[in-house]
Structure 1
Amino acid sequence: MLFSKLLPREDNFFELFNQHARHTVEAAEAFVRLIRHYDDAALREKHSKEVDDAEHAADRITREVSRLLHKTFITPIDREQIHVLINTMDDVADLVQDTAQTMTLYDVRAITPEIERLADLNLKCCNCVRDAIALLAHVSQPDSAQAAIKTCEAIDQFESDADRVMRSAISKLFREQPDVRELIKLKAIYELLETITDRCEDIANQIEGVVLENS
């Protein structure tokens, strides 16, 4: 016991998680602004760059967490949990950027109500991830553990909502979209947007595991 107390310990992981989650929210917010101003080419480019900047900042945090894992003997939670959690969080930031870039590459002409709805659900999920991540350092306290679980349950609900929106959107495409090229484009965008909520649900599941092991 005395020996373990003398070993180097790194508790900065929680702050790095918090920073990453904030950058992901920034990316999701910028994406919402992008689609709201999609008809304005200058604003669309501006907000697309904001998405890129936020994703690059999140990437830097991911690399720092990886670096710390390699040099830290004792971690505040299980090493594998840290590895999986930060990489799944990074998947979310990557997917937001991928969606923005795909819309440009596919030359999507107009924003549908379904894209707006999915983007809104994505932002809500990212906000909940940020809130749940902020509680990780305090999950040994019953109130914080309970709050984290409730926030994860909200993420699960938003993911279910996004799944329903996507299924309805794709059904509508096949019934009403006569242009096959537009159908293919929009289907890909819908699926990317729904995958963001899937990854947020994965993060929620990992957070719930951390809470159960440490509360």
Structure 2
Amino acid sequence: MPPEARRPAAGAAVLRPDVTDAIRDAVLQELAEVGYGRLSIERVARRAGVGKAAVYRRWPSKLPIVLDVVSGLAAQSLPTPDTGSLYGDVRALLDVTAKVLQHPMAAQILPDLLAEAARSPELGQTLQSALREAQHGIVTAMVGRAADRGELAARPDPDVAMDLLAGPLYWRLMLDRTRLPAAYLDRLANAVVAALAAAE
């Protein structure tokens, strides 16, 4: 198709990527500062330095904005560790996960969104995808390689493996909100490996 055929029609809105990125960043900052309940298109637009019309050209209301931002973050999944051993992979994944959960913005946004998800099935479904399904492939590949190396007698259920990997850290950092003691991740990695090895 010739270039002129791909040009937008005269008068059509051109959605500048830099403006879209600024709006997404503003949404994250607003979620961290005031939470989902008080987030508004007006506040997002003001923080992004744009008019409300720029926001509405991209999303019709605040729920689609938040769904888009959360889905975008989910797409930036954690790297799949490949250290050559199950312990090394588990330890590396725990380290990255702990850093993500300890980020000030994540510590403010996640609990609020999870509470809001109880009242919004659509938001809840998106969060489930963002927090669980996005990491499913990583854990499946990790335990699969361990089984191929003979470190595991069988391939554990990836859902159980994900619970073992993420549950303790989420509990301590998001709910209990206590600091990780020295060598905690080492001990947790050993416990996860032992649990995976015992799983049938």
Does TM-score exceed 0.5, indicating one fold?
Answer: no
Higher helix share: 1
Task: Give the TM-score, by structure 2 length.
Answer: 0.30
Higher RCO structure (Cα 8 Å, ≥6 apart): 1
With structure 1 as the length reference, what TM-score do the two structures score? 0.29
Whose radius of gyration is greater, 1 or 2?
A: 2
